[in-house]
Structure 1
Amino acid sequence: MGSVIDTPPAAMQGATPCLDARLPARFAAVRERTVELAAPVSAEDAMVQSMPDASPTKWHLAHTTWFFETFVLCALPGYRPVNADWQVLFNSYYQSVGPQHSRPMRGVLSRPSLTEVLDYRARVDAGLHDAFAHGELDAALCRRVELGLQHEQQHQELILTDLLHALSCNPLRPAYRDDLPSSTAAAGPLDWMRFDEAIVDIGAPRWPGADAFAFDLESPRHRVLVGAFALATRPVTCGEYLDFIHDGGYREPTLWLSPGWNRVRAKGWKRPLYWLDEERHFTLGGVRAIDREAPVAQLSYYEADAFARWAGARLPTEFEWERAAQGVAVDGNFVDAGRLQPVGDARDGLRQLFGDVWEWTSSAFLPYPGFRPLDGALGEYNGKFMVGQQVLRGGSCASPHDHLRASYRNFFPPEARWQFAGLRLAKDLA
């Protein structure tokens, strides 16, 4: 299986025992939440793959289980995988673990069935709970469990965004859930918050070793000179984006980066993904009226950048964004609220930094100075994707609340549109 599962358990090497007594309950809660998110999905829905960049719900359910089986249970003496063939089917991109089924072909996996995948989850969960109960997991394996839980929370969001794309391709435009609330609220005026030039500590302490979890891409913590800037107090709304459309934003090449303009022409982009026209859009609750006060979502980096140019502003760097977010409570419209759609917020001051929509930044996704990936195959988690991608910050209405922090870095290719991604404006100060 590869070097990542060669470490013997604590009982065999006298390693440090797992000291986090909360971990078994957290494991149960996160795993149960994933199944709850998949519950409204039929077996037929669960195997649909609407594009190569998305994955079927069934695959998400199985892959997150594969992660715990491969990186935790397979490290225990005598453990045998539930099905050795599934080690190939549900490996995503870990070359050092073994071969993988082709990513664009995940939608052809009619077998194993959804019932078998859910049984797979139950059996692996039982194995983990048994290992917890018998003290078989040392501190290193418990850190892998925590990484697996953070990984699963990322896939919880992907279940929703991938399903939204899949259902949008169905001419019937079926809802993921038809009981989602139609929340509306005023956005309030767009004001500016000023930040003076400063040397800012950016990132999180390397994990493992620190009490709080952080992905390897968030470290090492380092100092950055951030020039004086102003940041919009809220994200751009659907109404403001409509003004951009009405003013010919998708027809004016001078607003666009060259690859973005090529996309506009080749793909016929005229409005955000899922906007059926200027009044209606497709959501996880089905076809609904566009809320002009809500943050605009499903934008590519190119669209966000073009809007910022049109508005006489720019996108913030990820360092500017993190400086503004430091000390701000992680509070907002997350998946936990059950809306599954961005909503307006008219509170005073800087708001909606977390939740509602991921915010594109002008920063390329690159390693921090001194970056070092995790050891073994887990080092493949983030490091090898540090090319050709842009950083997004803040989380969305599909993100779990307890998954986010000011140092969290998300990343996607600049043409990606199917995430809950929007923008917040920034501008230079003399």
Structure 2
Amino acid sequence: MPTTAARATVDSCELSERAHRVRQRSLALIRGLSAEDMQVQVAEHASPTKWHLAHTSWFFERFILTQETPGYRVFHADFDYLFNSYYVTAGSMHPRGQRGFLSRPGIDDVLAYRQHVDDALQDLLASPLTPALRQLVELGLHHEQQHQELLLTDIKQVLAANPLEPALRTRNAPRVSTPPPALAFLDGPEGVCEIGHAGDAFAFDNEGPRHRVFLHSHRLANRLVTNAEYRDFIRDGGYDDPALWLSDGWALKCDAGWQRPLYWDSLLETEFTLAGRQPIDPHAPATHLSFYEADAYARWAGARLPTEAEWELAAAASLPESGLGLDTGDWHPTGGDDSTGMQQLFGQCWQWTASAYSPYPGYRPPAGAIGEYNGKFMCNQMVLRGSSCATPDGHARTTYRNFFYPSDRWQFSGIRLAH
């Protein structure tokens, strides 16, 4: 039987290897981007690629290396201001909507910053860690994985805003369009059930505590809404019928001129993807939809959106915790298959739920600046469940609570119906 010291050494080695993989994946994502691509910011919510690469390094430097490594030398004193995101208790920060103004530091400086942080992090991980420090490193790695998905959705907005519509990656072969199974609604559990994270594996603080909920009789759709089905909603006047829309959603739709999903053309024939403009696959899940659009579609279809508890229990009964990623490098939803049961829970689109993002019973945010990670955002946002085609492998869980404002549509967000 290995000693405690031996187990700690193995754990540190595994964590070191995983840290290297996660950090290298961020660099792999920017392959093919120019320095100019990584500078641009086209919306306040969508940060430049260069900023993502620096901010994820700042997280390790600010919360781990400067606290746990005696004699650690910060790479640049001003980076603490430039690359803090929203941690108010950690200090002041550059305005979010002006991150694209930062022509300096350049990408070479940012990559040097990453290497500086990586070297110090690997030195730290060469020794056994306390449980609290290991948990903090785990948080930093999952934080970076979150930003890997944001990096892709943000650069997609940048490339789509360019009249040339350049691709991040070109496809080696045309996609094969696979018809999904017929839409069916599967019974979910009724009565008192438990949801939320429990156990020693990593989870964000907002995934717990595990607690009881009461569920009424309900049914969830076996798959996501397809492009063809959503196109029927558009052609049936769904964007012009105020009876289908929540008041705030209708006002926003009118002000913004929404008539179709983000990235679709006006003829409803093509959509912009990270592989450039492509024909819309009628069998693939509809994506880049706001909560308001998802809710309006559900009402048009004579259905509703599921609650997050209904979704979590359906996922827990359908799939194991392992193998939930779909990190193919194509980063676009695909069609279904001919299997039975609950499909497309993970690896296609995040799925809007009818649940407001709020704390679970008994939730307490961690002390200090890290406590700002999730808890302070529990207002005016909606929960999405599952994972998307851009979610890194190993980052999905049945208890994962993603959250965005109901107006947000630049993420890979889609629709699962419920009754």
Tell me the TM-score normalised to structure 1 length. 0.92
State the match for 1:273 in structure 2. 262
**1:120-131 paired onto structure 2 within 5 Å:** 120-131=113-124
Q: What RMSD, in angstroms, separates the aligned Cα atoms of the two structures?
A: 1.6
Distance of 1:177 and 1:258 partners within structure 2: 39
Residue type of the alignment partner of 1:130? D
1:327-366 mapped onto 2 (5 Å cutoff): 327=317, 328-330=319-321, 334-346=325-337, 347-366=339-358
Return the letter of the residue paired with 2:119. Answer: A
Taking the aligned partners of 2:8 and 2:61, their CA distance within structure 1 comes to: 20
Residues 1:115 and 2:108 aligned together: yes
Offset at residue 307 of structure 1 (A): 0.2
Q: State whether residues 299 and 417 of structure 1, in contact with CA within 8 Å, keep that contact through their aligned partners in structure 2.
A: yes
- 1:382-421: CA deviation from partner (whole Å, max 9, x where unpaired): 0000000000000100001201111000000000010000
Q: Is the 8 A contact 1:315 1:425 kept in 2?
A: yes
8 Å CA contact retained: 1:18, 1:139: no
- In the alignment, does 2:250 pair up with 1:258? no
* Alignment partner, residue 159 of structure 1: 151
Distance 1:359 1:151 in 2: 20
Match of 1:9 in 2: none
Letter paired with 1:118 = L
Q: Residue 319 in 1 paired to residue 312 in 2?
A: no
Residues 114-263 of structure 1 correspond to what in structure 2 (within 5 A)?
Answer: 114-135=107-128, 137-179=129-171, 182-183=174-175, 184-205=177-198, 210-263=199-252
Contact 2:228/2:282 (8 A) holds in 1: yes
> Quick one: which amino acid aligns to residue 81 of structure 1?
V
Q: Check conservation: 2:223, 2:416, Cα contact below 8 A.
A: yes
- SS of 1:70 mapped into structure 2: helix
The aligned residue for residue 393 of structure 2 is 401
Aligned length: 407
Counterpart of 1:74? 66
Once residues 227 and 102 of structure 2 are traced to their aligned partners in structure 1, the CA distance between those partners, rounded to angstroms, is 38
5 Å matches for 1:81-100?
A: 81-100=74-93
User: In the TM superposition, what is the alpha-carbon distance from 1:345 to its structure 2 partner?
Assistant: 1.2
Q: 8 Å contact 2:221–2:416 — kept in the other structure? A: yes
Counterpart Cα distance in 2 of 1:232 and 1:78: 56
Deviation track 1:115-148 (CA, whole Å, cap 9, x = no partner) reads: 110111011100011112244x432222111000
Instruction: Measure the CA separation in 2 of the matches of 1:44 and 1:202.
Output: 45
Distance 2:406 2:262 in 1: 14
Aligned to 2:279: 289
Gaps of 5+ in 2: 1-6
**Paired residue secondary structure (1:43):** coil
Q: SS of the counterpart of 2:149?
A: helix
Q: Indicate the residue corresponding to 2:57 in structure 1.
A: 65
- Answer whether contact 1:17 1:138 (CA < 8 A) is retained: no
Q: 2:375 aligns with which of 374, 380, 383?
A: 383
Give the residue type in structure 2 aligned to 1:343: T
One-letter amino acid of the structure 2 residue matched with residue 338 of structure 1 = G
